[in-house]
Amino acid sequence: HLQALGAGEVIVPRRRDYDLRQAADVKRLYADNPDATLIIHAAATVGGIGANRQHPGQFYYDNIMMNTQVLEGARLADIPKFVGIGSICSYPKFTPVPFREADLWDGYPEETNAPFGLAKKMLLVQSQAYRAEYGYDAVHLLVVNLYGPGDNFDLETSHVVPALIRKMIEAKERGDSFVPIWGDGSATRELLYIKDAVEGIALAAANYDSSEPVNLGSGREISIRYLAEIIAKEVGFTGELRWDTSKPNGQPRRSLDVTRAESEFGFRAHTPFADGLRETIAWYIAQRELAAP
């Protein structure tokens, strides 16, 4: 998408080469790429509810340090454009559905996500402050849960879609009679297919220049219960979906008002959820087969 919009070389730094929590590494990253004209800052320490509960300090520190230094480094390097990838986790716990950008400061985030969500929210504040003081073209996107080929399927750190796919495939292979799932299934999420997300980010990079944050999502709300049922059907797991109500649901509802993205830079998600889910499952199965001895 970036190349279709006129970008030349696209460079994706890896953590093994640059630790973005370290100022020296960030400085070296920019020195190694003196001709860069656009930064899309998607690097983050992320995970599901369990990982957020277990590592709130790490999630806050890692993200606040990466965000602060990468944006400051881009400004000092005179890179013309910065796109910060924020998170739906920055919204207050009980935001009215659909979440509108104007609601962002109307309360505290859901507790398990707060350290991560607030660190991401500070990237928005920094972007707005840099625009106000330096005239720097930094924009901020509030992105929903992503899914698709290439996702993280580690059960300790993954989000809900890859976690459920892996759990149900492995349960089917073992012949398990049930799959345990956190919560009661009533919570809702909005999911955006990775290829749609990439398109939206590229459009924002090319066409958006404002301090106001923009929601990036599909505009479709789905319950965790329905999500589990459709994944079970797609992978052929016929056992019980056993809800563990001793575990948290996370934020009760998540769904975005996505009209600003369409009006400001022409983005609308187009991948049907069922199609994106099938592609994700097919990718995961293929990767497992490649890794098999």
Kindly report, residue by residue over 209-267, the tens digit of the pLDDT: 999 999 999 999 999 999 999 999 999 999 999 999 999 888 899 999 999 999 999 99
| CA distance linking residue 234 with residue 97, whole number of Å | 29
Between the ranges 7-21, 148-162, 222-236, where is the mean pLDDT highest?
222-236
CATH architecture of 23-291: 3-Layer(aba) Sandwich (3.40)
Amino acid present at 197? A
**Quick check: 90 and 154 in contact, CB under 8 A?**
no
Residue 107: other Cβ atoms inside 10 A: 12
**How do the domains of the chain map onto residue ranges?**
23-291
Show the beta-strand stretches assigned E in the chain. 38-41, 81-87, 137-143, 145-147, 178-182, 188-193, 214-216, 221-223, 240-244
CA separation for the pair 262, 109 (Å, rounded): 26
Radius of gyration (Cα) for the chain, nearest Å? Answer: 19
Q: Read off the pLDDT of residues 267-281 as tens digits, 9 standing for 90 and up.
A: 999 999 999 999 999
pLDDT in tens, 23-74: 999 999 999 999 999 999 999 999 888 889 999 999 999 999 999 999 999 9
Quick one: pLDDT band at residue 9, thresholds 50, 70, 90?
confident
Alpha carbons 201 and 181: distance in angstroms, whole number? 32
pLDDT digits 0-9 by tens, 165-199: 999 999 999 999 999 999 999 999 999 999 999 99
